[in-house]
Amino acid sequence: MATKYFLDNTRDSQAQILNQEGKIYSVTTGLQTVNASGYMALKLTNPANSNNMIDIIRVEGGSTGTMTLDVLRNAALSVSGLTLSPCNRNWDYSDNSSMIVEYISQASDPVSGGDILTSFTILGGSLDIKYDGEFIIPDDSTDKRFIIRINNDTSETNKISIGVTWIEV
């Protein structure tokens, strides 16, 4: 195990220590083609009784054109998506995240229900949002879902990627 080099109590220092302990994970869709006025959704599920609290710390990605991004709590996907495998940010640890991750890209909105926690428009380019504990997905007796829904707001094909980084404790 790595030595804990950071002794102050800043958020960056705490994240470094958690990463040294193998508790930080990330996942990305990679660059995907989203049709004109189409949708892409990334769903992270903290399964029932996982014994892990999930702290979303970053959402990042980008697009070649205008898109609207919504963050939703406990929404559902209307169809099953493609499964993605989370990666531990510390290569000395296995990629055994408790989160179940999938994404889908299609012409119609694949998301239903849930609560919109935040929504904004991106005019193209990169996206890097640090949430620093604003979104906590608790361990519970039922599945808890965190969904990012993206709408391609253009009348042309758009290249879009989205990634999420989180802490599991």
Q: Is residue 70 included in any domain, yes or no? A: yes
d(C-alpha 6, C-alpha 11), whole Å:
11
Q: What is the CATH number of the domain that holds 102?
A: 2.60.120
Give the model confidence (pLDDT) of 102-115 as tens digits.
999 999 999 999 99
CA 36 to chain centre: 23
Chain-wide mean pLDDT for the chain? 92
By residue range, what is the domain housing residue 64? 24-168
Which of 61, 77, 72, 69 has its CA nearest to residue 160? 61
12 belongs to a structural domain: no
Residue 88: phi and psi, rounded to 5, are: -75, 135
The answer on pLDDT for 99 being more than 60 is yes
- Number of structural domains the chain divides into: 1
